[in-house]
Amino acid sequence: MTKHSSPLMAEYANVAQAPIEEAYSLPFAVYKDEDIHDLEMEKIFKNEWVFIVSEQEINHTGDYFAFTLAGEPIVILRGQDGAVRALSNVCRHRGTMLLDEGFGNVEKNIVCPYHAWTYSDEGTFKGAPFTGNVNIDKQAHCLLQFHLESWHGMLFIHLGEPTNSLLNRLEGIDDYIHHFELAKFEHGYRSDKLEHWDANWKLAMENAMESYHLFKVHKATLETVTPTRQAFDIAGYAEWALTGGEMKDTSSSLTKWFRGSYPKVFDNYVLISIPPSFVGILTSESLSWIQVLPVDSERCIVRSAGISNVKVSTEDKAEKAFVDAFFAEDKAICERVQRGMASTRARGGKLVTMEKVVVDFHQFLANRLFNTPISDFYEAPKAQLFLSESGNGE
């Protein structure tokens, strides 16, 4: 028996493909097992469109974001020509990491910190010092380049050979969010801190995409503005899913008077789930998101950022404290759940209606890992508000 046909693999496939009416939590061991993790890296993170960063976050010439995806060091960089490329972050000489992970800027060239082999910001090998009589084939020593596609400025990378474009995979999603006019969101904002969570990447994604836990985990934070009882499904399936919820309007009467009338759709947020790495919250003013990337079977990196139709002040202490508070709450609960995954006797229970989006995510996993079928695309009654021409459900 191979490691990819073990009883745990079979149970994972069987539980994950179930529709909401029959869905249960995944087997706890899939959040810890190293063979499962290796399979997810090969079948998903090395062979799927994975969200990494927005164009607005690397807006200037030379701006880059360096990271590791499924063990592969990569840099997404805006070149002198204005184009954004996904390049290997490994020197073609002896494999040294070229740029430090995180955000940064290169003036023109990428220079290896070990022996100063030099590359253009397009990945072209330009030369090396002290080569003696050895002739180096420049064409053969360029940096590897990976597939990169953009959706509303969101940059997704594919490490393999895609059989489907990103836009084809996300087909239909724009029908429900056209009122929010993402093209006007020209300003990027981010936290430069990469959070390391002691939790499996799937736990972080499941937590981010469902609103069922807000009333309990975020009682003093998110629940005060996006109450659990006012959350609803919109539309989607395994490839992408939209949920939403009505936001509490805490504006003063004077502010409401100055604001005037606006479409009812703007009273709501839209939660956009695009596995395996993107969950965003869309309002009339911004699209904020978390990005989740695996480190190993029990750790992940979580990064928060967003784009807005106005320049966001980094000095708003109250807003920063609010975001930091619910982010810390999410980290604490995910790490608490991860500790529970160590149990070999307990089993997960039935998923409820508000976890339909989690079921969609599970079906994505089963489809990519085991080629199982997925449930049909669904559209909830609330979708009509977002589809309507007026944004008032008319």
Q: Note the pTM of the prediction, 2 decimals.
A: 0.94
Q: What is the CATH number of domain 52-150?
A: 2.102.10.10
- Rounded to 5 degrees, what are φ and ψ at 283? -130, 180
Convert the chain into a string of H (helix), E (strand) and C (coil).
CCHHHCHHHHHHHHHHCCCHHHCECCCHHHHCCHHHHHHHHHHHHCCCCEEEEEHHHHCCCCEEEEEEECCEEEEEEECCCCCEEEEECECCCCCCECCCCEEEECCCEEECCCCCCEEECCCCEEECCCCCCCCCCCHHHCCCEEEEEEECCEEEEECCCCCCCHHHHCCCHHHHCHHHCHHHCCEEEECCCCEEECCCHHHHHHHHHCCCCHHHHCCCCHHHCCCHHHEEEEEECCCCEEEEEECCCCCCHHHHHHHCCCCHHHHEEEEEEECCCEEEEECCCEEEEEEEEEEECCEEEEEEEEEECCCCCCCCHHHHHHHHHHHHHHHHHHHHHHHHCCCCCCCCCECCHHHHHHHHHHHHHHHHHHCCCCCCCEECCCHHHHHCCCCCCC
pLDDT in tens, 304-362: 999 998 887 655 677 778 888 999 999 999 999 999 999 999 999 999 999 999 999 99
Using alpha carbons, list the distances in angstroms from residue 278 to 62, 181, 241, 344, 345: 25, 19, 11, 30, 32
d(CA 165, CA 243): 24
Encode the chain (394 residues) as per-residue pLDDT tens digits. 344 579 999 999 999 999 999 999 999 999 999 999 999 999 999 999 999 999 999 999 999 999 999 999 999 999 999 999 999 999 999 999 999 999 999 999 999 999 999 999 999 999 999 999 999 999 999 999 999 999 999 999 999 999 999 999 999 999 999 999 999 999 998 876 788 999 999 999 999 999 999 999 999 999 999 999 999 999 999 999 999 999 986 554 544 444 556 789 999 999 999 999 999 999 999 999 999 999 999 999 999 999 998 887 655 677 778 888 999 999 999 999 999 999 999 999 999 999 999 999 999 999 999 999 999 999 999 999 999 999 988 7
Q: Which CATH superfamily is domain 3-44+169-387 in?
A: Naphthalene 1,2-dioxygenase Alpha Subunit; Chain A, domain 1 (3.90.380.10)
Q: What is the pLDDT of residue 61?
A: 97
The pair of three-digit structure tokens given for residue 111, joined into one six-digit string:
């220079």
* CA 168 distance to own-chain centroid: 18
Q: How far apart are the C-alpha atoms of 273 and 209, rounded to whole Å?
A: 6
Q: Indicate the residue type of 193.
A: K
Taking the domains of the chain in order of start, what are their residue ranges?
3-44+169-387, 52-150
